[in-house]
Copies of this chain bind each other. A is one copy, B any other.
């Protein structure tokens, strides 16, 4: 009887925990912040190889003035094109990060800095806003699943 009571209490609690609970550990937030920092560094280094390590294989990169790049091969080509055209010196400001499921999170950021147009050497001041949808792998690593940015410079 006592065991049954424990069961009656424990099972709903467990189920409630599973239903309501996103099991976001501090380590998730830490890893997401580290991921965004690595992404910033890879952009500033024009380093496609490092960028690709941060993406899910089925990720989508949605760059302004370009059609969406779907899947890791298209993402690779898109970043190679970006880094051929411009050189970035930017800093991300993390506005919010939220773990919304055991294996999904999002991050909203802004970024600001200088873009050098490689063809001309001209430098322009750039400010952007970004939305990242992140997915946790079976190994516990957070990867970029969907990513879109747009300029916040006035028209």
A residues contacting B by CB (< 8 A) are: 11, 14-15, 18-19, 22, 60, 62-68, 95, 100-102, 104, 106, 108, 110, 129, 131, 133, 146, 148-155
Give the residue of B18, B95, B146 whose beta carbon is less than 8 angstroms from that of A19. Answer: B18
Seed contacts A11-B11, A67-B129; 6 additional CB < 8 Å A-B pairs: A62-B108, A65-B153, A65-B154, A66-B152, A131-B146, A131-B148
Copies in the assembly, this chain: 2
Once the chains are docked, how many angstroms separate the CA of A147 from the CA of B150? Answer: 11
Kindly identify which residue among B64, B131, B155 contacts A133, using a CB–CB cutoff of 8 Å. Answer: B131
Give, as a whole number of angstroms, the nearest-CB distance from A77 to chain B: 16
The 6 closest A-B pairs by CB, nearest first: A101-B101, A150-B150, A64-B150, A18-B18, A65-B155, A100-B104
Given known A101-B100, A133-B131, A133-B133, contact A150–B19 (CB-CB < 8 A): no
| Closest Cβ neighbor of A147 among chain B residues | B131
Could you tell me the distance between the alpha carbons of A88 and B125 in the complex, rounded to whole angstroms?
Answer: 29
B101, B110, B151: which contacts A65 (Cβ < 8 A)? B151
Given known A-B contacts A131-B148, A133-B133, A104 and B101 have beta carbons under 8 A apart? yes
A104 to B102, CA, bound (A): 12
